[in-house]
Each structure stands twice: as structure tokens, then as C-alpha cells.
Amino acid sequence: MFSILQLIFLYGFLGGSIKFIDQAYDEKLYPIKAARVLAVLSGAVMGFVMAKDSPFSTAFYAAMLTSLVLARKIDNDAFAAGTVVAVASLAAFYPSSDVTFAIMPIAAFLIAGFVDEVADDWAHRRRLEGLPKAFFTYRPFSDMALLALIAVGTFSWTYVLPYFAFTLSYLAVERASHREEHIMGGFERLRTLSVQHLSRLSRR
């Protein structure tokens, strides 16, 4: 149903949206209300894509949601709502769609996604730095699973494009969030210094 360009756009939207929601709750960088609205919209889009681009998107996002549940990463109301809406959206479009739940791809993405989540959490808890941190927080095991599935002929190589649109959009929002965090931190430090300076002047 979708052209490759449409899939690239939708995957990019979903990747960036998920990271936006994550940063809104974990880092307090974005409004919670905006994150909640985006979660519902993203859930609806995800369910629609799963229904209309089967078996690849069905396998990819079903495995992603399941791995997040298993890794206990659905830890706020926005992610919970988005997950419920995604399942409901898939169910709504299921009767009019040719949905296939391919066991091998789902299992491959599920295992890789779960390992990615656990590895990312481990890297943060261990406070890794440099190349080890970059490797584990990049979540490389899902990439490996996709490339393996393409290599054995399960999916077309063209799915590399939407897949990496998702990944790059996710990373772009993460980088933009860190930049905004540094800017806000700089403003906060300037404000603190100004208050301290004025306080010293008032005591003279």
C-alpha cells in the first residue's frame, strides 16, 4: 500500500516522536501535554502502518512493543496510552488488511530489541563512556537482525531505508535535546550568577 518514500516519512515520524516523548518524561525538556498528544497520534500511525505494510512493519513494531513491555520500558502514561492506541489501531484496520504475523522475523526483532533495551539500560547504569557507550546506546542488535533477515531473503533491501529513517530521526531528536539541555543549563547558570552578583551588591 505504501511507497518507499511514504514509509521513510512515517518511520522517521515515529522514530522522532518516540524520542520526543522519552525526553519529555525523562529529561523534562518538552511539555508533557505535547508528549501525550504525540503518543496518541504515534500509536494510531503505528497501528495503521502495521496493518497496511505487512509482514515487515507488523513484525518490526510488534516486536518493538513486546520488547519494551518485557524490558519494562513503558514507564509513563504517554507510552502506555500510545501502546494501547497502536494495538487498537491495528485491530481496527485488521479486517480490511492482509496482515501476516511472520514468526521468524518477529522472533528475530523481538530478541534483538530486548537485548538493545537491556544493553542501553546497562550502559547508562554502568555510566560507560566513549566507544563502549556509543555502541550500546546506539542499539545495534536490531540493525544486525534486519541485515540478517535481508541476507536470507526474508525482506527486500529497500526496507533498510525506512528502518534507518526511524533510527536517524530518533538520534536526531536525542542530539537536539542534548543541545537544548546545554543551552537551558547555560541560561540557568547565568541566571544563578546574576542573582548571586546582585545579592553581593545589595549587601555592600
How far is the C-alpha of 95 from the C-alpha of 76, rounded, in Å? 31
Q: Please answer whether residues 60 and 109 qualify as being in contact, where contact means their C-beta atoms are separated by less than 8 angstroms.
A: yes
- Residues 149-169 pLDDT 10s: 999 999 999 999 999 999 999
How far is the C-alpha of 37 from the C-alpha of 72, rounded, in Å? 22
Three-state secondary-structure class, residue 156: coil
C-alpha triplet 59, 61, 64: angle, nearest 5°: 105
Per-residue pLDDT band for 27 (boundaries 50, 70, 90) equals confident
C-alpha cell at 189: 547558570
Q: Look at residue 184 in the predicted model and tell me its pLDDT.
A: 47
Q: Where are the domains of the chain?
A: 4-101+159-203
Q: Please answer whether residues 21 and 38 qualify as being in contact, where contact means their C-beta atoms are separated by less than 8 angstroms.
A: yes
- Residues 78-89 pLDDT 10s: 999 999 999 999
pTM, entire model: 0.84
Helix (H) or strand (E) holding 68: helix 56-70
